[in-house]
Amino acid sequence: MTDKMTVADDVVVSIDYTLTLDDGTEIDTSRGQEPLAYLHGHGQLIPGLERELYGMEVGDSKKVSVAPADGYGDVDPNAVQLLSHDVFPDDLALEPGMRLQMATPEGHPLEAVVKEIRDEGVLLDFNHPLAGETLNFDVSIAALRPATDEELAHGHAHGAHGHGH
Ligand code: ZN
Q: Which residues pair with 61 in a beta bridge?
A: 140
Map out the domains of the chain as residue ranges: 11-72+131-151, 77-125
Helices (H), 57-137: none
- pLDDT reported for residue 160: 65
- Other CB atoms closer than 10 Å to residue 97's CB: what's the count? 7
pLDDT digits (tens, 9 = 90+) for 56-82: 999 999 999 999 999 999 999 999 999
Q: What is residue 155's DSSP assignment?
A: T
| Dist. CA 142 → ligand 1 center (Å) | 21
pLDDT digits (tens, 9 = 90+) for 11-40: 999 999 999 999 999 999 999 999 999 999
| Dist. CA 97 → ligand 1 center (Å) | 34
Distance CA 155, CA 90 (A): 42
| Dist. CA 112 → ligand 1 center (Å) | 28
pLDDT digits (tens, 9 = 90+) for 76-88: 999 999 999 998 9
| Dist. CA 152 → ligand 1 center (Å) | 9
| Dist. CA 41 → ligand 1 center (Å) | 16
3-state secondary structure of 11: strand
| Dist. CA 140 → ligand 1 center (Å) | 24
Residue bearing the bigger pLDDT, 2 or 6: 6
| Dist. CA 45 → ligand 1 center (Å) | 16
11-72+131-151 is classed in which CATH architecture?
A: Roll (3.10)
Torsion angle, alpha carbons of 130, 132, 136, 139, to 10: 50
| Dist. CA 40 → ligand 1 center (Å) | 14
The pLDDT of residue 162 is above 80: no
Q: Which residues pair with 20 in a beta bridge?
A: 26, 136
The answer to whether residues 46 and 70 touch, using CB atoms and an 8 Å cutoff, is yes
| Dist. CA 7 → ligand 1 center (Å) | 20
- pLDDT reported for residue 105: 82
Classify 77-125 by CATH class.
mainly beta
The answer to whether residues 48 and 71 touch, using CB atoms and an 8 Å cutoff, is yes
* Beta-carbon-side half-sphere exposure of residue 22 (alpha carbons within 13 Å): 8
| Dist. CA 150 → ligand 1 center (Å) | 7
Rg of the chain's alpha carbons, rounded to an integer? 20
| Dist. CA 51 → ligand 1 center (Å) | 23
Q: One fold for both 11-72+131-151 and 77-125?
A: no
Q: Could you tell me the pLDDT band of residue 150, with boundaries at 50, 70 and 90?
A: very high
Rounded to two decimals, the pTM is 0.76
